[in-house]
Amino acid sequence: MPRAADQFSWDDEQKLIAHRNMHCLFPARVISAGAAVRSLPRRSERDVLESLARIGSDAGAYMEAAEVTGLLAIKRGQIVLERYARGNDEATVWASRSMAKSITSLLVGMAVQARHIRSVDDPVVLDVPELAGTFYEGVTLRHCLQMTSGVPYAEDYQDRSSDVARLQACTVQGRRGAFLDFLKDLASRRDRKRQVPGSVFNYCSADSVLIGLVLERATGRTAPILLERALWSTAGMEGDAFWNLEAEGGSAFTASGFGATLRDYGRLALFVLGDGTLPDGTRTLPEGWMRDSLIPSQASIDAGSPYGFQWWLQEHRGAVSNKIAAGPTQLRGGSTVFYALGNAGQVMLVNPAEDAVVVKWAVWASPADAEERRHQDQTFFAALFDVLK
């Protein structure tokens, strides 16, 4: 088993093992599924594969070239493609990496619906007063959701001295309060310039961790407990999930650290596609929450990467995201497509116009391969939506 403390230097094979076992490598809280399972009927996969072949696309070749370890496509509530590779199967519980940020965003919506949080425009120090007087003074929950807090932060996965490496180290210290201490230190530094909140888009996992602390203070429960009660036990999931913590009994790593089976990620995507409604019709998100979640900040538009409340958008007003869509490939329904993404190639794609979702697992060998891998993803996704029309 790879060492948890070495995760920034894991090679391809170590990532493969680790992403199946993050709940063993780091402190974690189990998220229990309920008794009733949401059925996912199947259409003929053979028809889809043959249709892809007719337009020159091969699912197996794509998976091998793009280092894909799991692939699921659901159209109109039916599984049309489900494939696994490199030892994964339907029982594998796979790490989300930063897809967890989008789940955290859903939890904020649920907390607003339950009136634990009054507004996303509330200042974060209202719930986390320990950050008063730091760079987080004047920052709202909306700013954190949109990654525009202005707090100086570097997320460089190839630099072991980067802020994100220091943040990840909080999960191997075995100490409650490690995340809060990190945030206080980060936002108290005066050797780097703070930006005006809302003015600059800067991808910042620290903001996502702070969202988790706001949730914890506002509701009295950690993220995995909230998710279990509000969604996982009631939405028809077939297996237990997990969420990594800073320490046993400590705060959840709400920027990362979630894990579930491929089909349960698919059910989660269907929940999002259904605007936050459970199978029994219960609404768990406020009316208009997902619509508002997908309005990108002006700062992210200016940066060429339209970003909402912890969701990446495929495009905005005809301009395709430079984060998502390397190259000229266009997706059917692309103007409505949005994503949760993980830095090892994890994807949860929602395409409302096509009534479809796609979940993809991967173990990208290096962050340097990201642009090429994203291009491979876009090419295959475009072909898939073309044959599923």
Q: 131-164 as b/e, with b when 16 or more CB fall inside 10 Å? A: beebbbeebbbbbbbbbbbbbbbebebeeeebbb
Average pLDDT, whole number, for the chain?
96
Among residues of the chain, what percentage have pLDDT more than 90? 92
171, pLDDT greater than 70: yes
Q: How confident is the model at residue 389 (pLDDT cuts 50, 70, 90)?
A: confident
**Are 84 and 92 within 8 A, CB to CB?**
yes
Domain ranges of the chain: 4-387
Per CATH, the number for 4-387 is 3.40.710.10
Average pLDDT over residues 99-120: 98
Q: How confident is the model at residue 365 (pLDDT cuts 50, 70, 90)?
A: confident
327, pLDDT greater than 70: no
Q: What is the pLDDT of residue 368?
A: 80
Among residues of the chain, what percentage have pLDDT more than 70? 99
Q: How confident is the model at residue 303 (pLDDT cuts 50, 70, 90)?
A: very high
326, pLDDT greater than 80: no
59, pLDDT greater than 70: yes
Joined tokens for residue 90: 């339907």
Average pLDDT over residues 288-307: 97
Query: Bridge partners of 83?
Result: 71
Average pLDDT over residues 254-268: 98
Q: What is the pLDDT of residue 378?
A: 95
Residue 13, amino acid = E
